[in-house]
């Protein structure tokens, strides 16, 4: 039923202007369109995400939005060069080394936006 549907994500932010600067200048997204409820950004494969203002920004601590990339190490370096700080984890089943973890054939790195929303980049290995 839903297995062939495209999907999208929504990301709550406290200040839409500040968030736009982060998503556009730091992460390199270009706005797809501006709407009354926020700004949409196109991603690969016909998917998109909406950044919208909310008083609940940054309150989800276990939900994250991930972007699949072809070269994780290169992407992490480029994002670090733009000021992104990657999370370090050391727990059962997840240990990062220099911000990158490998789990069951996937490498990943996690970081937060300016409101504390968790974002990640990943690569199939």
Can you list the alpha helix ranges (DSSP code H) found in 1-125?
16-21, 72-81
Architecture of domain 1-55: Roll (3.10)
> What CATH class has 64-125?
alpha beta
Q: Domain extents for the chain?
A: 1-55, 64-125
DSSP line for 84-118: --B---EETTEE-BTTBEEETTEEEEEEE-TT--E
Same fold, 1-55 and 64-125: yes
Residue count of the chain, please give it.
125
Q: What is the pLDDT of residues 61-114, one digit of tens each?
A: 888 899 999 999 999 999 999 999 999 999 998 999 999 999 989 999 999 999
Q: What is the pLDDT of residues 15-55, one digit of tens each?
A: 999 999 999 999 999 999 999 999 999 998 889 999 999 99
Neighbours of 90 (CB within 10 A): 9
Using alpha carbons only, give the angle 58, 50, 56 rounded to the nearest 5 degrees.
Answer: 25
């Amino acid at each position: 039923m839903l297995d062939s549907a495209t999907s999208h994500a929504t990301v709550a932010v406290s200040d839409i202007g500040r968030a736009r600067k982060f998503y556009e200048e730091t992460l390199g997204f270009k706005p797809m369109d501006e709407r009354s409820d926020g700004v949409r950004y196109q991603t690969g494969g016909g998917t998109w995400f909406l950044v919208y203002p909310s008083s609940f920004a940054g309150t989800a601590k276990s939900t994250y939005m991930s972007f699949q990339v072809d070269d994780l190490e290169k992407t992490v370096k480029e994002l670090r060069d733009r000021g992104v700080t990657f999370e370090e984890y050391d727990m059962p089943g997840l240990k990062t080394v220099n911000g990158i973890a490998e789990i069951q054939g996937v490498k990943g790195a996690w970081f937060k936006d300016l409101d504390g929303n968790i974002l990640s980049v990943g690569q199939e290995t």
